[in-house]
Amino acid sequence: MEKAFDRIEWKFLTEVLRRFRFTDEFIDLVDACNRENHFSLLVNDTSTPFFTTTRGLWQGDLLSPTLFILVEEVLGRTLSRAVSRGLIQPYHSKRGCPIISHSLFADDAILFLNRCEASIKGLMTIISSYERAIGQFVNISKSNFIVASSTTISTIRRIQDITRFSRGHLPFYYLGCLIFLGCTRIHYFDTLLCKLRKKLTGWKLQLLSSRGRIQLIRHVLMSMPLHLLAVHEVPDTILQFVRRICTLNFFLSPHESFSLINVTFKRQDLSHLTSDHAEICFIRFVRSHKNSGVKRARVGAVLGWVTSLRSPWVCARVARCLLFMC
């Protein structure tokens, strides 16, 4: 949806609240909160006179997301009713699986239906009626449809003429999750690695201390793939790439060259450690100075996965070490 919060009609919102059987006092309170807002713009250090709005919800208000969900429920129930009445033929999955006609979250929506022309026209009729009633508009430039690879070109062109959407392809991201068909492939997660490298590009231009780099790695880099890891089983190769990117950001400057060798230590080699961190990655970094030509070494530790002091045996796990040599 295009400008989802800004285009909601207040009359439609009031009618939706009445259909959900909210009390008149609550409906009047919501309507008063929407109509009594006054805004002023600052142009060239000069504030304009206050003015009011005629539609839309205030973004940032705690009640606005709930009201938006109630409005979107109208579209969801309309689609479900159209499927039950046979106006839209849903997409049939394997036997025993439930029939899913739509998935709505905020202004992002995925609709599942058969590729027959009658179903597509019925869907576009519902969307047009919804746009006229609520005031929202579908963002055509960001909307697309996905069909099977065996679909003929004539069918694809007919769908484009009806919907005015462009054709999309798998895989794609929906709510931060990767939607794909078949087995997990490494190149599906190139977007995640590109985001990490793009984030590091801005950091390399800043003079950060080692403690500052640790904080950025813990709270920024390590939090970026958490949502994806909670949904998919990410290949070990991608996890190694993520760990390598974080390690290089901690120990290397933008102008240093290196070669990478993986070394694995046995459990008994780390049995004497008593730290309260679950995993310690020892890194030996050998760096050559241009002036003297003498190689100096330093040893650092990347700390992560904090655990309690009652479990020091976790530190005896196998630690993968990265040996950097110029």
User: What is the pTM assigned to this prediction?
Assistant: 0.61
Determine the average pLDDT of the residues in 299-309: 33
Contact 90, 84 (CB under 8 A): no
**What pLDDT is recorded for position 279?**
34
User: Around Cβ 26, how many Cβ atoms within 10 Å?
Assistant: 10
Determine the average pLDDT of the residues in 59-78: 86
Q: Where are the beta strands (DSSP E) in the chain?
A: 42-43, 46-47, 102-105, 108-111, 144-145, 166-167, 172-174, 177-179, 259-264, 277-288, 295-306, 320-325
**What pLDDT is recorded for position 17?**
92
Determine the average pLDDT of the residues in 75-95: 84
pLDDT classification of 300: cutoffs 50, 70, 90: very low
Q: Which of 33-37, 67-71, 123-127 is predicted least confidently?
A: 33-37
- Hunting for tokens 């309507």 — which residue is that? 31
How far is residue 264's CA from residue 204's CA, in Å, rounded to a whole number? Answer: 29
Tokens of 312: 């020091």
- Hunting for tokens 């309309």 — which residue is that? 78
Contact partners, residue 195, CB within 8 Å, separation at least 6: 224
Closest CA to 9 of 61, 74, 71: 71
**What pLDDT is recorded for position 64?**
87
Q: What is the pLDDT of residues 215-272, one digit of tens each?
A: 777 777 777 777 777 777 778 888 788 777 777 666 544 444 333 333 333 333 334 4
More confident position, 25 or 60: 25
Contact 107, 128 (CB under 8 A): no
How far is residue 143's CA from residue 159's CA, in Å, rounded to a whole number? Answer: 13
**What pLDDT is recorded for position 212?**
74
Q: What percent of the chain has pLDDT over 90?
A: 4
Q: Which of 151-155, 192-196, 202-206 is predicted least confidently?
A: 202-206
Determine the average pLDDT of the residues in 175-203: 79
Contact 6, 65 (CB under 8 A): no
pLDDT classification of 138: cutoffs 50, 70, 90: confident
Closest CA to 57 of 26, 16, 13: 13
**What pLDDT is recorded for position 104?**
82
For the chain, the average pLDDT equals 71
Contact 114, 91 (CB under 8 A): yes
Q: What backbone torsions phi and psi does residue 159 show, to the nearest 5 degrees?
A: -65, -40
